[in-house]
């Protein structure tokens, strides 16, 4: 049911008058006035490198992108004041309300609507890129059940789980146990998806060996599965990378062994028809084959993989998201993510470094379809091991590196200035679909590296 829109107007002298504005009743009843039951005032601003809304009054004063809680059927007025000088608006798509655009500090507008549906609804700035940049929050109407999907397990992979470095040890025999599962898990606040996994995480575990090791793979398919599954290691020299001998029915197990012949960072994935469906549902991971003597020591290591989901529901929909074969075949993902959920690397798991430390990221693309242009905003990769070749000389001083689906790279960089650094695919419209992460750098700022200048008042005469 569409919202009853009472009015949408630009504010000029409305704010600060001490009483909420009155809205004329539509359709000729000019003698009937509405007094909003609740009024919120939000200011657009920049905080922690993001575009945001900041509450200006009430119990939420000072909060960034606050939850706006109202009673069902209440008349709600939301005032928007421009605090950063950029162009913005304010919209609640589920209620079909959107303000005028405002530009220039001090400009203001408002929306008023009747909250005639209980639930949790998204508010945002509808200008391209502004939601991804941080201008998004929730309107909570009535007393709804907490967001659907919150009762489901979080299957997102902790990027700090990178395994133990091999050091300078000799080759040896190593066994890994993998279990394929089909589990409904959290996609974002308010939504879930029936993921297919290795060991109940997306991506699956990062396996770490050295060149010359003999690796035994035991693959078990959970009795609760509805499908056959398998595993194809790009690090394997052998039929199907192991997939030809690991087509495992639910409740059964299969094993094989291989020798790690070449160092590198390799993707593994399920290779049971249709292969793309198994991969998009979460069945991918990486195995690191370190060269003889191991990798050089660094201060921080992180494991990050990019994936795509093709669902019948549009991005931002609540509830269980259902797989869409048509969108998969058309290569039109509704959701994109690092490490298995919309906010795995921006809220669920922390990636941190201190000023002066060196960070290494093992980065891969599960896909199954899209190439990634991997970039960390505000950083330059000191070394990029292109195509994850660990025996080739690394590229140096790289801004963005291409990684194909089913491919990988290893990047290293020194963190030299504190702040929040955003991991993205530089095909930046994908950030609108959930593809973003945050690396937080702690420590003292060095003004020789970066500093801001005091704003000069253009009317001051200086």
Q: What local confidence, expressed as pLDDT, does residue 48 receive?
A: 76
Q: How far apart are CA 19 and CA 24, in angstroms?
A: 16
- Beta-strand relationship, 214-221 and 253-259: antiparallel
Q: Encode pLDDT of 175-188 as tens digits.
A: 999 999 999 999 99
* CATH superfamily entry for domain 173-290: Cupredoxins -  blue copper proteins (2.60.40.420)
Taking CA atoms, 42 is separated from 53, 71, 85, 89, 260, in Å, by 6, 19, 14, 11, 57
Residue 312 pLDDT class (50, 70, 90 cuts) = very high
Sign of CA dihedral 294, 296, 298, 301: negative
Mean pLDDT over 334-352 rounds to: 96
On the question of pLDDT at 27 being above 70, the answer is no
Q: How far apart are CA 443 and CA 352, in angstroms?
A: 11
What mean pLDDT value characterizes the chain? 90
Q: Encode pLDDT of 245-264 as tens digits.
A: 999 999 999 999 999 999 99
Q: How far apart are CA 259 and CA 175, in angstroms?
A: 12
Task: Name the token pair of 363.
Answer: 């980065």
In angstroms, how far is CA 140 from the centroid of its own chain? 23
Q: What is the CATH number of domain 300-442?
A: 2.60.40.420
Q: What local confidence, expressed as pLDDT, does residue 143 receive?
A: 85
Range in 146-160, 271-285, 298-312, 396-410 the model is least confident about = 146-160
Q: What local confidence, expressed as pLDDT, does residue 286 receive?
A: 98
Same-fold call for 4-141 versus 300-442: yes
Q: Encode pLDDT of 207-218 as tens digits.
A: 999 999 999 999
The radius of gyration of the chain's CA atoms, rounded to the nearest angstrom, is 25
What stretches of 406-446 adopt beta strand conformation (E)?
408-414, 419-425, 436-442
Residue 316 pLDDT class (50, 70, 90 cuts) = confident
Range in 30-44, 109-123, 266-280, 372-386 the model is least confident about = 30-44
| Domains of the chain, residue spans | 4-141, 173-290, 300-442
Q: What local confidence, expressed as pLDDT, does residue 432 receive?
A: 85
Instruction: Report the alpha-carbon angle 349-408-380, nearest 5.
Output: 70
Instruction: Report the alpha-carbon angle 148-149-152, nearest 5.
Output: 135
Find out whether 194 and 278 touch, Cβ atoms under 8 Å.
Answer: no
Query: Quick one: what percent of the chain has pLDDT higher than 70?
Result: 90
Residue 145 pLDDT class (50, 70, 90 cuts) = low
Residue 168 pLDDT class (50, 70, 90 cuts) = very high
Candidates 2.60.40.420, 3.40.50.10240, 3.40.50.150, 3.30.390.30; CATH matching 4-141: 2.60.40.420
Q: Is the pTM of this model over 0.85?
A: no
* Greater model confidence, 308 or 34: 308
Q: What local confidence, expressed as pLDDT, does residue 64 receive?
A: 94
Range in 15-19, 271-275, 330-334, 366-370 the model is least confident about = 15-19
Q: How far apart are CA 35 and CA 385, in angstroms?
A: 63
Q: What local confidence, expressed as pLDDT, does residue 20 receive?
A: 37
């Amino acid at each position: 049911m569409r919202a009853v829109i009472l009015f949408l107007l630009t504010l000029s002298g409305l704010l600060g008058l001490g009483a909420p504005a009155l809205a004329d009743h539509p359709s000729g009843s000019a003698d009937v006035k509405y007094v909003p039951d609740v009024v919120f005032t939000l200011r657009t601003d920049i905080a922690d490198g993001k575009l945001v809304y900041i509450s200006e009054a009430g119990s939420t004063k000072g909060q960034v992108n606050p939850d706006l809680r109202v009673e069902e059927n209440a008349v709600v007025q939301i005032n928007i004041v421009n605090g950063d000088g950029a162009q913005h608006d304010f919209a609640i798509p589920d209620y079909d309300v959107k303000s005028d655009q405002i530009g220039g500090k001090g400009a203001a507008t408002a929306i008023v609507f009747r909250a005639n549906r209980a639930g949790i609804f998204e508010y945002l700035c509808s200008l391209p890129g502004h939601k991804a940049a941080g201008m998004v929050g929730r309107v909570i109407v009535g007393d709804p059940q907490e967001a659907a999907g919150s009762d489901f397990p979080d299957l997102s992979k902790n990027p700090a789980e990178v395994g133990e470095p091999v050091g300078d040890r000799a080759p040896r025999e190593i066994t890994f146990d993998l279990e394929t599962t089909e589990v409904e898990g959290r996609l974002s606040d308010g939504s879930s998806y029936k993921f297919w996994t290795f060991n109940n995480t997306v991506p699956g575990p990062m396996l770490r060996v050295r060149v010359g090791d003999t690796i035994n793979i035991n693959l078990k398919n959970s009795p609760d599965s509805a499908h056959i599954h398998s595993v194809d290691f790009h690090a394997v020299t052998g039929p199907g990378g192991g997939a030809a001998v690991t087509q495992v029915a639910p409740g059964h197990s299969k094993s094989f062994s291989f020798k790690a012949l070449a160092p590198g960072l390799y993707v593994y994935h399920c290779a049971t028809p249709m292969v793309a469906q198994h991969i998009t549902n979460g069945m991918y991971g990486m195995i690191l084959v370190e060269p003889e003597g191991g990798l050089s020591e660094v201060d921080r290591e992180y494991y990050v993989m990019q994936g795509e989901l093709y669902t019948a529901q549009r991005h931002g929909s609540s509830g269980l998201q259902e797989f869409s074969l048509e969108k998969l075949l058309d290569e039109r993902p509704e959701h994109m993510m690092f490490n298995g959920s919309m906010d795995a690397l921006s809220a669920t798991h922390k990636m941190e470094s201190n000023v002066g430390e060196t960070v290494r990221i093992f980065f891969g693309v599960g896909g199954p379809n899209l190439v990634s242009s991997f970039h960390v905003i505000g950083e330059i990769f000191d070394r990029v091991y292109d195509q994850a070749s660990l025996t080739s000389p690394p590229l140096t001083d790289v801004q963005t590196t291409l990684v194909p689906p089913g491919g990988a790279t290893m990047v290293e960089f020194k963190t030299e200035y504190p702040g929040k650094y955003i991991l993205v695919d530089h095909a930046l419209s994908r950030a609108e679909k959930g593809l973003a992460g945050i690396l937080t750098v702690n420590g003292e700022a060095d003004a020789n590296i970066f500093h801001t200048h005091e704003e000069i008042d253009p009317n001051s005469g200086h």
